[in-house]
Structure 1
């Protein structure tokens, strides 16, 4: 747990285009001393507690971002910022689970921010994609384009205001992010031209939830429960595919791909028909994952597998685009039997900093996939939903696999496939994470390069629209994974997002 807090704060510096101290997230923890899993929800709240009427001065506007050839309109400005929870989440983890002093845990992040980090190709690419956001305000330009242009691979990204902010928190305590000078600056920056209020800051709370639990192929899987959607959709897909024997299928061969497309399609449509409108209902997970619901959708997949037509699972609604997918994943196992997997995000960032701190606020109120009923219509104080799905697979009574992913709407399919690769295909973790993946969205089967063209030809011949990608791409997520196998600890960082693994 010390490693999780240290790495998460370091990621606020090194992956600041993907996550932020002023973002939100989740951590799934399995403390060995407790022999039980718990989910810490520190995602963003809808801002505006105590505010009456519309804010006529709100700064909220759209821009088009190119995600690898797929353009999406996203919204930024102070009005896109939701109430952040990442620092509160790390404070809760620190208080409940950590053993090292806070100064020691934040020291790497402070050093990276003060001395700068040399941008890798992956980091420079992320920053380039989000250049319209990272240069939207004067304070942001001073960090991300200090010479009047975007920083490129090999150049150093320095953020001394963030180093000073983190040094202050290390000395005074993480609670100071929500009190005193930083709280005042947050209101100064996002109260007048955004929706944030003092009540939002004072009433923000980390929520401890009971993780969603299911059995798959004789193992227990823990993941993120509602009101977040990702974990429940992963569980639904696993329940559907458990009715099929994958052992005789060639990995990413025709039979495997056909089944994946059917299961992903069924899950997507079930989500829209049965799940999205009831995401805050108390019993939604148990009803959505019930034997009757699973049997109904599995029977239709059976008909498809036998050559039937779509029938009642014709596509419902339309997709609004790829989603930003700007998320950071950290997965940790230790030799004492502790496991933790934490996923954090800033959306794409709203383009504006908490004044004087070097920290960019999130853009969760400007993300259409988090606001399906429209922008600024959800009541203030509501904990926002997310696709983020930190997940732990148990091997008997001990954690065996800890994983999670960035990738917006692709998170569920990415984690689902890595679980299958490990548990059904018995692939080494490096292959399980980095082999070609697929995703079903809005009637189109998205397929990464590396899949046999003959298999895809047969899929297309059956009437499925296939989009063949020429590269492996961050669009398909970044499933950073660690596991405890017969040979000991192992892990893999997802190459799509510059992932890395360290044992020691």
Structure 2
């Protein structure tokens, strides 16, 4: 769940691309809006809305379409979190995070011999059952209707976009992409590089999707696709079994929520750290008059960075799969936030070692994507899902056409070993059979008076929570228009390493110097795309903001 390497390629390979592309203009609509990284998938979502489907129908269709058109992160073989806010009802979260196979133990990665790009790095996929659960409880159209657009894209072919040509070219050339089936499926027929405008067909993936469309989501876990996955694991010396696959269940969970200056903010609960993290940070920052200080003042940004540092230390201390770990309830209380705010020295940065001194010190991937959907009735969906690294494990299940995650690498790798470089070894997120690995995915829904006002989220590994925080603050605290809020430079601090990364390193040199003078180590950074929707508080129109950091589309009607 780290920043997509395609972004880095774009920055170094395109002449004059030292800075991100120019800001985009928000797309306006009244009947529905879809914002995602893949233009063909956005078209699918809007078509579902026009057909009479609701936002959940469209979200399921978009997620499955992106498994075809954005294989870097769109997936059948991964997992994620879908936040759903039905009109007049409390928001909910469909959690479909992957689980560890029964044969996994806490020292699976401890000796460093298990590669992130191997079968053993794959957790049991959750996406298909998660989408099935969301549709069954909240969808409107027949299941087959929302799956078939993805089937048609895979079987009939789709146009390769600029972003996909870079992305697929990068992974096919990578020395870590050694799986023969991956190359058979994704190498360009006849040789050469995929170019924008080419037509890509994925017939094996199309057959798998057709089985899911015709027989339901459970077919992926108990039918022919499950047999093929079990066979792939056996052939690749993996540890996942057919029993692991059959037993997987998605779960509906109660979101984490807080009120920030009159707005109700909802995020995903553990095993995501996102909801706890963003609510904790908003609660802390509510103790400061950020708006009066100014968005780019040293005081405001010092307080934001110090808050991030403290939140991520609590993430390491406490957060993991709630079925295995007790999550302290105080983390999202206003009283606890007030105590944390009081520990921030306004004149100096607090060294990370002093934020959590009780954790002994020894000397997440980019294949995530977020999309937002809203329909004419105000049903809102904020969904983030992932394969962990770009293209996950780089393993395609033979005969099924989809890519496996390498999500097991999101567990803490070495029990008891937490380092200043950022490796975490605390107990809450150690590997255990059937356990869900901790995630940073943070699909967010913000409501006021029971109505949605902002949907956002992002890829980017541990940067995800801070990306979502910055977008939420820009809209709620600083009244930025949504496109400006998405495009603005962001901060990231994750406790360790003790470095504040800033996207505005070169554009805000005075601010960088002021924070350096306070004792912060500041470095350049880049964070993920936050495809967001704002509901105009005056007109009620939907404003879709596709992030300029990557290819994407905001489409509505």
Q: Matches of residues 83-94 of structure 1 in structure 2 within 5 Å? A: 83-94=124-135
C-alpha separation between the residues in 1 aligned to 2:92 and 2:500? 34
**Which residue is 1:452 aligned to?**
508
- Alpha-carbon spacing, 1:314–1:89, altered in 2? closer, same or farther (3 Å): closer
* Paired residues of 1:143 and 1:157 also in contact (CA < 8 A): no
Q: SS of 2:556's equivalent?
A: coil
- The structural deviation recorded for 1:24 is 0.6
Q: Distance in 1 between matches of 2:450 and 2:196?
A: 45
Residue 481 of structure 1: which of 532, 535, 539 is its match? 532
| Secondary structure of 2:136's aligned partner | helix
**Given the alignment of the two structures, is residue 462 of structure 1 paired with residue 513 of structure 2, yes or no?**
no
Distance 2:465 2:165 in 1: 26
* Match of residue 210 from structure 2: 167
Per-residue Cα deviation, 1:232-285 (whole angstroms, up to 9, x for no partner): 11111111100011222332343332222222222223333x424796677625
Counterpart in the other structure of 1:71: none
Aligned to 1:36: 90
User: Is 1:439 aligned to residue 492 of structure 2?
Assistant: yes
Q: In structure 2, how many angstroms separate the alpha carbons of the residues matched to 1:134 and 1:165?
A: 26
- Contact kept in structure 1, 2:81 and 2:441, CA below 8 Å: yes
Question: Partners of 2:410 and 2:480 in 1: how far apart?
Answer: 35
Change (3 A) 1:481 1:45: same
Asked if the contact 2:271/2:319 (under 8 Å) is kept, the reply is no
- SS in structure 2 at match of 1:226: coil
Bigger shift: residues 413-422 or 163-172: 163-172
Q: CA deviation at 1:358?
A: 0.7
The equivalent of 1:16 in structure 2 is 71
SS state of the match for residue 252, structure 2? strand
Q: Secondary structure at the match of 2:388?
A: coil
* 1:495 positional shift: 2.0
**1:212-251 Cα distance to aligned partner (Å, 9 max, x none):** 1111111111111123212111111111100011222332
Could you say what secondary structure the match of 1:22 adopts? coil
Deviations 1:135-191 (A, max 9, x none): 321111022223555534444432111112212221222221112211111110014
Say if 2:544 is the partner of 1:500. no
Distance change (3 Å), C-alpha of 1:259 and 1:194: same
Which 5+ residue runs of structure 1 have no aligned equivalent? 63-74
* Structure 2 spans left out of the alignment, 5+ residues: 1-55, 415-423
SS in 1 for 2:500: strand
1:267-416 aligned at under 5 Å gives the runs 267-272=311-316, 274-276=317-319, 284-301=327-344, 304-307=345-348, 310=351, 312-313=354-355, 323-348=364-389, 349-367=392-410, 372-373=424-425, 378-416=431-469
Question: What's the secondary structure of 1:336's corresponding residue?
Answer: coil
Query: What is aligned with 2:183?
Result: 141
Number of aligned residue pairs: 477
| Aligned partners of 1:143 and 1:158 also within 8 Å | no
Q: Normalising by the residue count of structure 1, what TM-score does the alignment of the two structures yield?
A: 0.86
| In 1: Cα distance, 2:522 partner to 2:512 partner | 8
1:286 Cα offset (Å): 1.7
- Secondary structure at the residue paired with 2:553? coil
Equivalent of residue 267 in structure 2, options 197, 202, 223: 223
Q: Which residue of 1 aligns with 2:6?
A: none
State the alpha-carbon separation in 2 of the partners of residues 502 and 22 from structure 1: 27
Post-superposition Cα deviations, 1:435-472, rounded to whole Å, max 9, x if no partner, equal: 11121141111111463211112212222111135xxx
Q: Which has the higher contact order (CA 8 A, sep 6+)?
A: 2
Indicate the SS of the match to 2:290.
coil
Root-mean-square deviation (Å) = 3.0
Aligned equivalent of 1:70: none
